[in-house]
């Protein structure tokens, strides 16, 4: 026995150095990744290379089995991990372990103006993705809110490039810290949904770089995003999924992106362009693998057999292919081959806590007046004097985590607003009236909506019921807005009108006649016309906020949480206040043959508040200001800003300047204020916006507490994109720093000079 043992030991000792030597470089974790990539690439056959650059199922692409690279699994994104669909079809797979936590939609995240919550969001989502075995999350989305009709605005981070940039970076970093890739989408100029495959965007270089690209750039350069999704639409007559200027020049060359460009699902249209113009990984092309293209239809992808054939015939060398595979391998090493990543978990308390916190901080108190005869504003609801609350509206009982397109989820739990209100206000008589019937669809994408929304009563009956019950109530909470059905906040189309759908306006007006104590809670990812606004005392913007929606809304209405969200977009009174609509550039002009629609971004860099400022400064006839300006949001406490100071009066081109302002909570409850710094250029060789957001800081203050808030900028905050040189340019001269609490409330001002 001893002999056998010692033989065994000798065997081991003599084997180990040999084994170590034989460990191939591509598997050797002590070797630099780039070296491992070179080694793996050198070992791959042409077939293996072609295989890894296109899908093998709806959401997966193959690894390299022979070499031990696992398959790559992607999934939507961006608000939770989408339930599994069948291999080749969009139909639900019917798994029992794919219910997730729905985090608030990205508009809500942006409305927190709190980058640390974006980090928490990314980390929590990453943990859910890991548990579900997903390596790439198809999100976040950072397309700019150009028109409030945009069907997918709810999935994005608002109208301002700086705000979106500051919020996307920590999301990406948080997600990727878990070993799950972010796939930042939709690059770029996919700013509306109508005709999204056919829209050819015509835009100046300046608007492209100043408005539409900064958030993508930040995600790539600061966030270190491992993947970017090409958009469906067309730019300079080339689809964005294989657009030379967008992908090869800007993304890869100028920004140094070393990750993978993934096509949007079905966004690839041409082998030659896909080969040459920077697409790395093709997904979602036409097949369903069954009724269409039954015999391995994935071979018919643009980057599959036809590409291989072209290489075999000598049309292409393997130069482009190797470059694509290199990037895909890099993604493998970052995700599937990364062995240090955690295991992840689904639906944990910590994820629900994160979802709740983000929702509570993102809810925006838009209006909160004191009713005639009362001492206090209507909100928070005074529990001592309130005996009966009436909740009205379909959105109080409608699940919003389902619907809306690819971001639709299958949740373990979604607290509906009515349920959240009932729980929080237990002890008070809570009644409900439907008010109107909107969308009663019971299931979406195979996920069933919990409660039946079926109701056949006539509108007159619904209105009469709401009015009768409102008469008896101390407070009426109307939960309305948009929903995620087609032509609302939903992928694939835009809204047809800016007004609220269904009979909402009519019901609100009728209730106001009998009870002015009405709180309007708006659920949406977009602004809407609110024709009765002057008559309504309190308005809360509640977004689509996911699993904890009802609890978050109730906690704000009750005052357990002091609202601190700020609008990430301008809430126009009417569509003509928005540049794209004022200039009639939306949705564009069809070319002959009705194949392509040219959409010229004529408002140029003047998007959102930049347009409002421009119109106001030109003293053109604007009917009135927007209903609520960009950056607006109230609190249950009050804040005062002190004197603005700067650490210098002049700065050189390589210098920084720091602005400091004292902020005091002058009210009686704790709360948070977001201090916003905008820059005005006094004189420039080009036309510039009146002001642009360049920094912000959210501070939490106890009653009576003062904090000095500092914000530092450098010349990049003073620069514009110079079309002549294709560079950012800062011109010496005088600038004003404008500091305040919304784009329309900027009481502190200081002039400084760039030399
Ligand atoms: C959407 C993407 C999504 C993809 C996969 C596309 O239609 O535009 O945002 O990630 O589908 O579901």
Bridge partner residues of 701 (DSSP): 671
- Cβ neighbours around 188 below 10 Å, total: 28
Q: Is the pLDDT of residue 622 over 90?
A: no
Among the atoms of ligand 1, which is closest to the Cα of residue 82? 12
Phi, psi of 520 (to 5 degrees): -100, 120
Query: Is pLDDT of 579 > 60?
Result: yes
Active-site positions read 264
Of the pLDDT bands very low, low, confident and very high (cuts 50, 70, 90), residue 292 is low
Q: What value does the mean pLDDT take over residues 181-201?
A: 98
Is the backbone peptide bond immediately before 606 cis, with ω within 30 degrees of 0?
A: no
- How does pLDDT run across 85-142, given as a tens digit for each residue? 998 888 899 999 999 999 999 999 999 999 999 999 999 999 999 999 999 999 999 9
Element containing residue 186 per DSSP (H, E): strand 181-187
pLDDT for the residue numbered 286: 72
Of 47-51, 84-88, 244-248, 566-570, give the lowest mean pLDDT range. 84-88
pLDDT of residue 12: 42
pLDDT tens-digit profile of 141-158? 999 999 999 999 999 999
Instruction: At 644, list the tokens.
Output: 């603005």
In the prediction, which pLDDT does 91 show?
A: 87
Give just the sign of the alpha carbon dihedral 86, 90, 94, 97: positive
CA pair distance 331, 324, nearest whole angstrom: 11
- Cβ contacts of residue 254 below 8 Å, gap of 6+? none
pLDDT band of residue 11 (cuts 50, 70, 90) is: very low
- pLDDT category of residue 290 using cuts at 50, 70 and 90: low
Closest C-alpha among 220, 153, 151 to residue 182? 220
Residue 186 near residue 533 (C-beta atoms within 8 A): no
Give the distance (Å) from ligand 1 centre to CA of residue 526. Answer: 20
Query: Quick one: pLDDT band at residue 441, thresholds 50, 70, 90?
Result: confident
Ligand 1 pocket, mutate which of 85, 227, 265, 281 (most atoms under 8 A from CB)? 265
pLDDT at 654: 97
Find out whether 102 and 411 touch, Cβ atoms under 8 Å: yes
* b/e map 110-122, b = 16+ CB within 10 Å: bbbbbbebbbbbb
Residue among 409, 492, 446 nearest 89 (CA): 446
Mean pLDDT across the chain: 95
For every residue of 7-38, DSSP letters joined together read HHHHHHHHHHHHHHHHS-GGG-TTS-HHHHHH
The Å distance, Cα 263 to ligand 1 centre, comes to: 9
Structure tokens at 69: 């690279």
The span from the first CA to the last CA of the chain, in angstroms, equals 86
User: Bridge-partner residues for 529, per DSSP?
Assistant: none
Token pair 């639906």 is found at 347
Q: Which residues does 448 contact at the CB level (< 8 Å), separation at least 6?
A: 442
What integer pLDDT is reported at residue 447 of this predicted model? 80
Structure-model confidence comparison of residues 88 and 518, the more confident one: 518
Q: Count of CB atoms within 10 A of residue 451's CB?
A: 12
Tell which wins on pLDDT, 117 or 374: 117
Decide which of 20 and 212 is more confident.
212
For residue 73, how far is its CA from the centre of ligand 1 (angstroms)? 14
Contact in structure between 48 and 71 (CB atoms under 8 Å):
no
- pLDDT (0 to 100) of residue 14: 45
Residue 288 has pLDDT above 60, yes or no: no
How far apart CA 373 and CA 377 sit, in angstroms, is 11
Please check the confidence at residue 13 and state whether its pLDDT lies above 50. Answer: no
Mutate to test the pocket of ligand 1, among 192, 264, 494 (most ligand atoms within 8 A of CB): 264
Atom of ligand 1 nearest to the CA of 406: 12
Task: State residue 726's pLDDT score.
Answer: 97
* pLDDT on residue 521: 99
pLDDT on residue 17: 52
Q: Which residue has the tokens 């003599």?
A: 14
Tell me the mean pLDDT in the region 6-35: 69
On the 0-12 / 13-18 / 19+ scale of CB atoms within 10 A, 465 is middle
Mean pLDDT of 707-713: 98
Q: List, chain by chain if needed, residues with CB within 6 Å of any ligand 1 atom.
A: 76-77, 138, 185, 264-265, 406
What is the value of pTM for the model shown? 0.96
Work out which ligand 1 atom sits closest to the CA atom of 77: 10
pLDDT (0 to 100) of residue 623: 57
Judged against a pLDDT cut of 50, whether residue 193 lies above it is answered with yes
Backbone angles phi, psi at 744, to 5 degrees: -110, 5
Residue pair 95/83 in contact (Cβ under 8 Å)? The answer is: yes
Which protein residue has the closest C-alpha to ligand 1 atom 7? 265
Atom of ligand 1 nearest to the CA of 141: 9
Please report, to the nearest 10 degrees, the dihedral formed by the alpha carbons of residues 140, 146, 152, 156 taken in order: 20
Please give the helix or strand (H or E) that residue 391 lies within, else none: strand 388-392
β-bridge partners, 228? 184, 261
List helix spans (H) across 303-366: 305-312, 319-334, 349-362
Place of tokens 């642009």: 692
User: 624 versus 553: which is more confidently predicted?
Assistant: 553
In the numeric block, the tokens 């009705």 are attached to 594
**DSSP structure class, residue 282:** B
Average pLDDT rounded to a whole number, residues 291-309: 85
Please state, in angstroms and rounded to a whole number, the distance separating the CA atoms of residues 327 and 336: 14
Strands 181-187, 227-230: pairing is parallel
Please return the burial class of 366, using the count of CB atoms within 10 Å of its CB with bins 0-12, 13-18 and 19+.
Answer: buried
How far is Cα 220 from Cα 215, in angstroms, rounded to an integer? 9
Alpha carbon distance 37, 383 (integer Å) = 64
Atom 6 of ligand 1: nearest residue by CA position:
265
Q: Which of 138, 156, 191, 266 to mutate to test the pocket of ligand 1 (most atoms within 8 A of CB)?
A: 138
What confidence tier does 293 reach under pLDDT thresholds 50, 70, 90? low
Residue nearest to ligand 1 atom 9, measured at CA: 406
CA distance to 198, 282, 327, 332, per residue, from 269 (Å): 12, 10, 21, 26
**Ligand 1: which residue has its CA nearest to atom 8?**
264
Residue 446 — pLDDT band, cuts 50, 70, 90? confident
For the segment 568-592, the average pLDDT, to the nearest whole number, is 97
Query: Ligand 1 centre from 89 Cα, in Å?
Result: 14
Q: Which of 8-12, 47-51, 358-362, 404-408 has the lowest mean pLDDT?
A: 8-12
Phi-psi region of 75 (alpha: psi -120 to 50; beta: other; left: phi over 0): beta
pLDDT band per the 50, 70, 90 thresholds, residue 2: very low
Tokens 């900028």 locate to 713
Alpha helices in 363-485 (DSSP H): 417-424, 459-472
Structure tokens at 580: 């794209």
pLDDT given for residue 395 in this prediction: 97
Question: From start to end of 412-569, where are the E strands?
Answer: 429-433, 443-444, 447-448, 475-481, 518-523, 538-541
Rg (CA), the chain: 27
């Amino acid at each position: 026995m001893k002999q056998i043992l010692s033989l065994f030991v000798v065997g081991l000792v003599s084997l180990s150095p040999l084994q170590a030597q034989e460990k191939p470089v591509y598997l050797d974790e002590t070797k630099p990744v780039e070296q491992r990539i070179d080694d793996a690439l050198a070992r791959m056959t042409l077939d293996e290379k072609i295989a890894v650059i296109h899908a093998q199922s709806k959401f997966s692409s193959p690894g390299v089995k022979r070499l031990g690279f696992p398959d790559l699994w992607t999934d939507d994104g961006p608000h939770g991990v989408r339930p599994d669909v069948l291999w080749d079809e969009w139909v639900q797979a019917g798994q029992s372990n794919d219910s997730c936590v729905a985090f608030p939609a990205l508009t809500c995240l942006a409305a927190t103006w709190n980058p640390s919550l974006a980090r928490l969001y990314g980390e929590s989502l990453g943990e859910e993705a890991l548990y579900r075995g997903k390596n790439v999350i198809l999100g976040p989305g950072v397309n700019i809110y150009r028109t409030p009709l945009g069907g997918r605005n709810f999935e994005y981070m608002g109208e301002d490039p700086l705000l979106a940039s500051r919020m996307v970076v920590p999301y990406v970093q948080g997600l990727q810290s878990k070993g799950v890739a972010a796939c930042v989408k939709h690059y770029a100029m996919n700013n509306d949904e109508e005709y999204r495959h056919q829209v050819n965007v015509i835009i100046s270089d300046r608007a492209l770089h100043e408005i539409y690209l900064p958030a993508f750039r930040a995600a790539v350069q600061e966030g270190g995003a491992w993947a970017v999704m090409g958009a469906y639409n067309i730019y300079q007559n080339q689809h964005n999924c294989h657009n030379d200027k967008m992908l090869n020049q800007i993304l890869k060359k100028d920004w140094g992106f070393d990750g993978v460009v993934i096509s949007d699902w079905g966004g690839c249209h041409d082998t030659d362009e896909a080969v040459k113009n920077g697409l790395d990984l093709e997904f979602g092309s036409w097949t369903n693998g069954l009724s269409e293209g039954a015999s391995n239809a994935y071979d018919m992808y643009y980057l599959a057999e036809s590409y291989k054939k072209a290489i075999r015939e000598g049309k292409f060398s393997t130069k482009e292919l190797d470059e694509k595979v290199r990037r895909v391998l890099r993604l493998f090493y970052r995700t599937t081959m990364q062995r240090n990543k955690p295991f992840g978990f689904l639906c944990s308390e910590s994820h629900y806590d994160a979802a709740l916190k983000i929702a509570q901080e993102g809810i925006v108190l838009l209006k909160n007046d004191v009713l005639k005869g009362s001492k206090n504003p209507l909100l928070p609801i005074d529990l001592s004097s309130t005996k009966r609350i009436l909740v009205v509206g379909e959105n109080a009982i409608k699940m919003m985590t389902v619907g809306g397109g690819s971001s639709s989820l299958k949740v373990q739990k979604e607290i509906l607003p009515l349920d959240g209100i009932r729980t929080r206000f237990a002890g008070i008589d809570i009644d409900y009236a439907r008010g109107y019937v909107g969308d009663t669809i019971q299931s979406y994408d195979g996920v069933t909506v919990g409660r039946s929304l079926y109701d056949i009563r006539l509108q007159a009956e619904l209105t009469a019921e709401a009015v009768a019950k409102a008469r008896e109530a101390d407070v009426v909470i109307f939960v309305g807005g948009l929903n995620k059905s087609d032509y609302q906040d939903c992928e694939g189309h835009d809204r047809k009108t800016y007004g609220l759908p269904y009979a909402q306006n009519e019901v609100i007006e009728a209730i106001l006649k009998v009870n002015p104590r009405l709180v309007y809670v708006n659920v949406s990812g977009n602004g809407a016309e609110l024709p009765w606004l002057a008559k309504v005392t309190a308005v809360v913007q509640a977004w689509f906020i996911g699993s904890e929606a009802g609890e978050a809304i109730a906690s704000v209405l009750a005052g357990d949480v002091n609202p601190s969200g700020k609008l990430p977009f301008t809430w126009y009174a009417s569509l003509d206040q928005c540049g794209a609509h004022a200039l009639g550039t939306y949705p564009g002009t069809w070319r002959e043959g009705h194949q392509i629609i040219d959409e010229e971004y004529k408002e140029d860099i003047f998007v959102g508040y930049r347009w409002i400022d421009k119109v106001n400064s030109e003293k053109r006839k604007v009917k009135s200001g927007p209903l609520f300006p960009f950056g607006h949001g109230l609190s249950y406490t009050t804040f005062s800003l002190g004197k603005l100071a700067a650490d210098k009066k002049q700065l050189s081109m390589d210098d920084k300047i720091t602005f400091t302002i004292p902020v005091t909570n002058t009210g009686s409850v704790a709360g948070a204020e977001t201090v916003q710094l905008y820059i005005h250029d006094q004189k420039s060789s080009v036309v510039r916006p009146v002001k642009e957001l360049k920094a912000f800081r959210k501070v939490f203050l106890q009653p009576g507490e003062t904090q000095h808030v500092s914000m530092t900028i450098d010349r990049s905050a003073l620069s514009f994109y110079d079309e002549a040189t294709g560079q950012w340019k800062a011109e010496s001269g005088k600038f004003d720093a404008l500091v305040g609490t919304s784009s329309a409330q900027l009481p502190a001002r200081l002039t400084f000079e760039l030399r």
